[in-house]
Amino acid sequence: MKRLASLLLVLCLLCPLMAQAAEDYTVAEKLVKQLWAGSGFSGTLTVDVQSETGASTVKPIVLDADYIYVRETAEKTAEHRLDVTLMDGENALSAVYAQIKDGALSFQADVISPDWYVYAPGKEASPAQSQLDALKDGALAHTGAAQIVQTALMLLPLCQEDSDLSDALESYTTRIDVWMEGYREEALLDKTADGVTTMQSRYTIPSAAIKAQMKQLVLDVLADEELLMALYDAFGGETGRYYFNPALQNWYFGVIEELPLTGCITLSRTVSIKGDVLETRLSLPLYDAHSGESTLSYERTQGEGDLPDNRALRFETADHVFALLYQAYSSMTGVNVMQGTFTADGKAVAFTLKQEESLNRDDESRDVYGYDIDLTLRPQESESETQLVLVSRFMSRELKSAPTETDITLSVQDDDSTVKLHFNGSTRKKWEPEPLSGGRTDVSDLTEADLLSILPGTAVRFAALTAPFLSIPQQPAETAE
């Protein structure tokens, strides 16, 4: 119950604006910060494919990439620029250039033509203005709620681990517990097969009551100087002041009001006389204009013996049913493991996901952050298996301006083929990209005849460009009967 109370408290305090991270960040997050600050990045992607039935590489495909985010100035709006070049040794064979600016994608590819093209799905307002307009129009029923939940789930462990903050929150979590008791419908006594006495409690809470309580908590917390100081400290000074800002009270109220909750939220818990939580069931009815009514439910039952708990997450609409059934645990070596089955409209895939993080220093006295993933997929009623292995390393010295290097390898392997992608690169000093040419063809204006005149030549040039790198097995000739 404390965990649910803490989650509700964090949910009611967070707005959908994403703040910058606290000063304690990983080297991978440092890379993102440097890119966002305007540093450039240069790297090389190497692709190797080996297949028994399809195309294979006779030599690796090598792509050089240069990326920079050009920050907004008083005279110019911000833009993203990316250049990708196909290399053969020291020789540049072909290139693709792209720019994202003012909501439009402009690109030029040698394999298509020397001309520039632009795709502008619609003029976009600034992110801040878009969020304000969305709040006024009620559109945050999707994006705002999703960002609130995502941010709350990321920050919830901090609320639980920080002892000073936990003490400051104690009266609020207790208040939520007492408030929830007002919605308890029943409490049933029972016994397990082992003879242990249990009590099942069921709560039904109207969505309007949830929102009203969240607003009351916002009022109380934003007026609680002691708790605000604890929150500021826990969330890193400026970040805390960004999230928990009394001046944004009306904003918080607006976001809470637009949460896509409808109907009643139901919660059922079964607890043993020893205090062990044997089963938890939570159901959240949702609604949005695109998919209509839907239900998000969560179940957690205690595993037998030393086995981890069984968890189930389901999302149901009128037309679709998605379910994630899994067990999660951490090994003695610090590897986080999730194992289970994902089902989409009756089609199931068994999976095993292993994640591991590492922090150390290399021989050059650089901080090294590692993040590794090993994912195995096995479709239902099939003996075939696909394995994805990601090994990533981010290296940098302590100085904030020190460049950050990356070394990432992704391998995808099944019964017939292996694909290996290796990417390495480093941040570098910012540069000023060359202005784009004025004349650009709008993709939306291209007719079917235009496409028919472009595509055949593009296909021929692409085939000629990739031919030296690929080996395509010959199809056996058909014989007449």
Q: Which amino acid is at 14?
A: L
Task: Give residue-wise pLDDT tens across range 355-384.
Answer: 999 999 999 999 999 999 999 999 987 888
Q: Which amino acid is at 351?
A: F
Q: Cα–Cα distances in Å, from 377 out to 352, 373, 374, 402? A: 7, 13, 10, 39
What is the value of pTM for the model shown?
A: 0.71
Task: Give residue-wise pLDDT tens across range 333-360.
Answer: 889 999 999 999 989 999 999 999 999 9
pLDDT the model gives residue 238? 66
Mapping DSSP onto H, E and C, the string for 193-220 reads CCCCEEEEEEEEEEHHHHHHHHHHHHHH
DSSP three-state, residue 59: coil
pLDDT the model gives residue 161? 47
Task: Give residue-wise pLDDT tens across range 297-318.
Answer: 999 998 887 888 899 999 998 8
Is the model's pLDDT at 158 over the cut of 60? no
Task: Give residue-wise pLDDT tens across range 210-241.
Answer: 889 889 988 988 898 888 888 887 766 666 77
pLDDT the model gives residue 62? 97
H or E element, residue 359: strand 347-361
| Selection from 148, 139, 152, 120 nearest residue 445 by Cα | 120
Is the model's pLDDT at 69 over the cut of 90? yes
Q: Which two tokens stand for residue 453?
A: 């005149």
pLDDT above 90 covers a percentage of the chain that reads: 44
Q: How many Å apart are CA 242 and CA 119, to the nearest integer?
A: 35
pLDDT tier for residue 276 given thresholds of 50, 70 and 90:
confident
| Selection from 407, 360, 357, 350 nearest residue 381 by Cα | 350
pLDDT the model gives residue 348? 94
Helices (H) and strands (E) counted in the chain, each on its own, are 10, 22
DSSP three-state, residue 3: helix
Asked if 239 contacts 179 with a C-beta cutoff of 8 angstroms, the reply is no
The whole-chain average pLDDT of the chain stands at 83
Q: Which two tokens stand for residue 425?
A: 């690169």
Is the model's pLDDT at 465 over the cut of 90? yes
Q: Which amino acid is at 336?
A: N
